[in-house]
Chains A and B, each alone.
Chain A
Amino acid sequence: MKILPSVAFNDFSGSAGQVTARKVGDKTYLSTRTKHSRKTTPSQASIRCRFGNTNIGYSKLTEGQRLGWSYLASSLGEYATSTGNTTITGHNLFVSINTFRSICGKPITRSAPAQLLPSRYINVGDIWLTPEHVIFANVALIEGTDDVVLFEMYAAKSPAETNGWDKTSIVAVVASTDWGEVDLTKAYLEKFGIPIKIGQRIYIKVCKLNSECGYVKWFSMHGYFASERSTLHQRLYIPRAKIKMEMINPITQNYECDAIDYEISPGPKITSNNITVRSLQDFLVTCDFLHNGLTDAFDFERSYQYSRSPAERNFFIQCMEVKVYNNSTKKISLYCFAGVYTKHFETFGTYFITN
């Protein structure tokens, strides 16, 4: 993994997202692409629009504000690039910072910040790069702060293409992870329109960015060939053992599942889950919902859990049996067999799974 200055501050022929940098003399200028990409994915259109809006925003700054940006830019001084030292103008700095702020969902900041917090190198663990999965594991992001993670990627068009570092495009900016994981499969497909091919050379840039500041400077670079096995530990992709809302049929004739978040952890086998159900029946029934959430590695998983009725039904406690069938029939089945039955209940917690 390497750490390099951001392409946005390099001299000639560099680009990050839709921002292109070119060097004139000892200064670097930023501009939009002179050629329109023929691809008009929503992601590209969005970033193009943001950059355009940011450029227009600079023209509306007061003279004092422009001087602030110029002063801040000059304070960055010179820094080394592959072709010599370069500097950045106040205009470039305003556009660059506000473009990334906009990508992070922040409004344009007209006044130059008192202090710049440059982007940083971030630890990433295993990465799966397959046609079906673009997944980063162990992404070291502390949530609940201003930090986000910026992912740029590029897939080489041919084996002869050996340097794609200047061609990476922003795939996603994420403010949170799913237990350290970031799944960019959909975002990648939306960005580039075609999935990764096995054997394709993939260029990845990733950094931890302060979303309030928006100053992209340092990031780590990862270059891998797409493979069925992960980049670090050479593991075949195994999905997490979980069932989410998008994996079930939540509405049946007799009941509705309002929410389900079910996952199995080792210990040897423990479930943590939160499931909310409404029954349309007044009598005790088993609630069944079809699912497609687990692999064939699972067969029949049962846990006995606490459950409670909601406030409007007086918080009664129930003992709920939660069974996950994963054989000829794939369904999750809930049955209240002790406590006060109510038509609306929520079961949650961490419990051993036994057969």
Chain B
Amino acid sequence: MITLELNNFGSGSVIFKNYQSPGLCVLNGKITVDPTNAAYIAANRLEFDLPAGFAMPRSAISSAILFSNHSKYHYGTVLKCWIENSKLCIEKLTAWDALGNYVIYINSAFVTRGYRGTFTQTPTKPLTIINSYGIFSFNRYCYVETEYFVFLMATFNDFPEYNFIGTGPFTLELGGFASDVNVEIPLIVNPTSTTSGQIGSMLTFGSLANRKLTFSYPTSALNMGGKSSFFNFFAVRG
């Protein structure tokens, strides 16, 4: 674990699970942002100082998820995120500031560039859904497991939809998934259509531990979920 304390937007300290190597790092953590804080308002982008000795002073572009304070749908989007001069930098978007404190999820990998050499193929592993109960089935997925971290992207043909089965909670149990991953991830649960005036996509969050992803929907969250749902994350093991 690393603790990031110094920042330019008035946030408290944040703890990140992490994997570090000079060419590839993975960070898992959740940042709470107060958009009324004077430092936040003045900042052009959000920065956290990385601890001394962090393996990577600079990275290529990565991503994070903004999870707004909307009372029901937590509308949000993808943010640009990167490491520069030993700082974790995150793009600042203010579209949801009026809703109050929001969360930024970072479940991402960071790499360096400039490699000139040969490559090997990325090995993937198969997964199964143990408890589909007719409410879960993959459309596509991509699962990579290394000794230190995992990567999973999944889209679905069947995924719980509020309109038909309510708030949950729901549990997706994954056979073949690493048992030592413990992470909270955002889930994009927006249908292909949107409502008038909607800014950002509907989001909820899930807790993944011991191969089980558990999540729920708020009350009255019409249209949330369904087969257009997906997620995409890196997670440190252990």
Q: Does A84 contact B (CB under 8 A)?
A: no
Interface flag for A231 (CB, 8 Å):
no
B153: chain A residues within 8 A (beta carbon): 304, 319, 351
CA of A314 to CA of B93, assembled, Å: 12
**Complex contact B199–A338 (CB within 8 A):** no
Contact call B142/A354, Cβ cutoff below 8 A = yes
In the assembled complex, B121 has its CB within 8 A of some CB on chain A: yes
CA A272 to CA B111, docked complex, whole Å? 7
**Cα–Cα distance between A242 and B95 once the two chains are bound (Å):** 33
Give the residues from 51 to 65 in chain B that come closer than 8 angstroms, CB to CB, to chain A: 59-63, 65
Q: Contacting chain A: which of B5-13, B169-177, B188-196?
A: B188-196
B155 near A349 with CB under 8 A, answer no
How many interface residues does chain A have, given as a range? 35 or more
Judge whether A238 is part of the interface by a CB distance below 8 angstroms.
yes
Give A254-304 interface residues, CB cut-off 8 Å to B.
Answer: 261, 263-270, 272-274, 297-298, 304
Nearest CB in chain B to that of A270: its residue: B111
| Central interface residue in A179, A237, A298, A352, by most chain B CB within 10 Å | A352
Interface residues of A in 312-355 (CB under 8 A from B): 314-317, 319, 337-341, 348-355
For residue A113, CB closer than 8 A to chain B, the reply is no
Contact with A along B89-113 (1 / 0, CB 8 A): 0000101000000000000111111
Cβ of A77 within 8 Å of any chain B Cβ, yes or no, is no
1/0 contact string of B69-105 vs chain A (CB within 8 Å): 0000000111010000100000001010000000000
The yes or no answer to B134 lying at the interface (CB within 8 A) is no
Beta-carbon contacts of B202-232 to A below 8 Å, as 1s and 0s? 0000000000000000000000000011101
Complex Cα spacing A352 to B232, Å: 11
Beta-carbon contact of B119 and A315 below 8 Å = no
User: Within the complex, which residue of B110, B111, B144 is in contact with A354, where a contact is CB–CB below 8 Å?
Assistant: B144
Instruction: List B contacts of A341 (CB < 8 A).
Output: 192
For A352, list chain B residues within 8 Å (CB): 122, 142, 144, 151
CA distance A90 to B124 in the complex (A): 68
Tell me, rounded to whole Å, the shortest Cβ–Cβ distance linking B193 to chain A.
Answer: 8
Q: Contacts A270-B109, A338-B155; is A311 near B24 (CB within 8 Å)?
A: no
Q: Indicate if the CB atoms of A179 and B121 lie closer than 8 Å.
A: no
Which of B61, B108, B114, B188 sits near A273, CB closer than 8 Å?
Answer: B61
**B60 x A263 contact (CB < 8 A):** yes
- Interchain CB contact under 8 A, B63 and A350: yes
- A298 CB, min distance to chain B CBs, angstroms: 8
**Nearest A-chain residue to B81, judged by Cβ:** A349
Provide the bound-state CA to CA distance between A294 and B76, in Å.
35
Residues from chain B with Cβ under 8 Å of A274 in the complex: 61, 80
Q: Known contacts A306-B232, A311-B95; decide if A340 and B190 are in contact (CB<8 Å).
A: yes
Contact, CB under 8 Å: B230 / A305: no
Let me know if B62 and A314 touch, CB within 8 A.
no
Does A240 reach chain B (CB closer than 8 Å)? yes
Shortest distance between the CB of A84 and any CB in chain B (Å): 45
B25 CB, min distance to chain A CBs, angstroms: 10
Q: Which B residue's beta carbon lies closest to that of A235? A: B116
Any chain B CB within 8 A of the CB of A180? yes
A42 at interface (Cβ–Cβ under 8 A)? no
- Bound form: Cα–Cα A291–B120 in Å: 22
Within 8 A of B (CB), among A153-194: 178-181
Q: Are B113 and A268 in contact (CB under 8 A)?
A: no
Apart from A266-B119, A354-B142: 20 A-B pairs, beta carbons within 8 A: A181-B114, A240-B114, A241-B115, A241-B119, A267-B24, A267-B122, A270-B111, A272-B60, A306-B65, A307-B78, A314-B198, A316-B77, A316-B194, A337-B139, A337-B155, A338-B155, A339-B228, A350-B60, A352-B122, A352-B144
CB<8 Å pairs between A and B, sample of 22: A180-B114, A238-B118, A264-B115, A267-B109, A268-B121, A268-B123, A269-B119, A269-B120, A270-B111, A270-B122, A272-B111, A274-B61, A305-B232, A306-B63, A314-B199, A317-B200, A319-B188, A338-B155, A351-B109, A352-B142, A354-B124, A354-B144
Closest 8 CB pairs of A and B: A179-B114, A272-B60, A349-B63, A315-B77, A304-B153, A317-B201, A265-B111, A338-B155
